[in-house]
């Protein structure tokens, strides 16, 4: 996370080019997000109602597992995108209050827009209006950050060294988002696989009585492969923010978290092709990883609140 400590990005040609390309790619991502949202959900109440309930006259709810899956994926993308974008944007020479406002609106609207789908599902279709407004807020705030950052790095504007308070706030918000991501991931696991060794084994081995087919190797690899890199990136980011502890403890926490992530990721393969008893390993590694993804961000947030004024960030 060199963006957090470097205030001379323009003077570092490789880093500068990387930042500019990231911002341009992000701008394209931002534009395409409008189109994707339009095709998937719709930008009107009527179209989004159809997504959640199929038909106005004969409503049938969207499968809950699909809803959690979508929140799970999009939450990872939103949080990662905003973290990196914010770490570049904070070098803009504008008031810290403006920076705080745009970053906070981006995080809150991005997260709440996803969670509002649960309100639509469980409470009332009227929350579709809330979901739409939050999407617009997220797009406008991130769009403003992108344009301001592009203006900074494509013009002769001078960079501003980021204030430590802004850095702490970014890490704090990321940690809070990680807690939310962990809870969503837990509910997705319970809804999709179950929380007992028997249900876990059944999910991978199949069940003729329930007309469930056993998982294929290609199907398992299609899940394992992308999760290896996404989990690696996310956990690396999370663990390297644990800067208020000794090096020995940080190594222990990092090793334990990464090991649990690998066991959780490959647990399904072990169950399907080695032995059903690996369901216990899969379940324990998932619960252990979930615990670590609650413990680590909590440790970070508590440490920031305790040592905010006197701790040096080592990233």
User: How many of the other CB atoms lie within 10 Å of CB of 237?
Assistant: 17
193 half-sphere exposure, CB direction, 13 A CA radius: 23
- Residue 160: what are its φ and ψ, rounded to 5°? -120, 130
Q: What is the DSSP letter of 157?
A: P
Query: Between the CA of residue 25 and those of 28, 85, 160, 230, what are the distances in Å?
Result: 5, 11, 23, 19
* Distance in angstroms (rounded) separating the CA atoms of residues 242 and 224: 27
pLDDT in tens, the chain (315 residues): 544 555 577 777 778 888 889 999 999 999 999 999 999 888 888 888 888 887 656 566 778 778 888 888 888 889 889 988 988 888 887 787 888 889 999 999 999 999 999 899 889 889 999 999 999 999 999 999 999 999 988 888 887 777 777 777 888 888 888 998 899 889 888 888 888 888 888 888 887 777 778 888 888 888 888 888 888 888 888 887 776 666 677 788 888 888 999 999 898 888 888 888 989 999 999 999 999 999 999 988 888 887 664 544 434
| pTM (two decimals) | 0.81
Q: CA-CA distances (angstroms) from residue 298 to 121, 177, 284?
A: 30, 11, 21
Residue 44: both structure tokens together: 């009107």
The encoded tokens of residue 217 equal: 């190797």
């Amino acid at each position: 996370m060199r963006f957090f400590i470097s205030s001379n990005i323009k003077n570092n040609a490789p880093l500068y080019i990387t930042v500019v390309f990231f911002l341009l790619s992000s701008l394209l991502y931002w534009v395409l997000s409008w189109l994707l949202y339009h095709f998937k959900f719709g930008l009107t109440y009527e179209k989004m109602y159809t997504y959640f309930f199929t038909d106005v006259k004969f409503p049938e709810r969207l499968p809950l597992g699909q809803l959690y899956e979508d929140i799970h994926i999009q939450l990872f993308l939103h949080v990662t995108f905003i973290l990196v974008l914010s770490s570049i944007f904070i070098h803009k020479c504008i008031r810290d209050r403006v920076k705080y406002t745009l970053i906070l609106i981006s995080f809150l609207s991005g997260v709440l827009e996803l969670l509002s789908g649960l309100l639509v599902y469980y409470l009332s279709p009227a929350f579709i209006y809330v979901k739409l407004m939050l999407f617009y807020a997220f797009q406008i705030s991130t769009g403003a950050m992108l344009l301001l950052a592009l203006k900074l790095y494509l013009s002769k504007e001078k960079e501003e060294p980021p204030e430590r308070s802004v850095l702490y706030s970014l890490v704090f918000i990321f940690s809070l988002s990680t807690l939310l991501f962990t809870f969503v991931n837990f509910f997705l696991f319970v809804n999709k696989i179950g929380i007992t060794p028997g249900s876990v084994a059944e999910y991978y081995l199949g069940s003729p009585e329930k007309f469930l087919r056993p998982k294929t190797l290609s199907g398992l690899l299609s899940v394992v492969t992308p999760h290896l890199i996404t989990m690696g990136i996310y956990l690396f980011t999370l663990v390297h923010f644990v800067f208020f502890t000794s090096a020995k403890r940080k190594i222990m926490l990092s090793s334990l978290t990464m090991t649990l992530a690998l066991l959780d990721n490959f647990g399904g393969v072990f169950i399907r092709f080695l032995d059903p008893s690996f369901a216990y390993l899969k379940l324990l590694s998932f619960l252990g990883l979930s615990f670590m993804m609650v413990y680590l961000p909590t440790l970070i947030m508590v440490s920031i609140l305790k040592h905010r004024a006197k701790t040096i960030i080592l990233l």
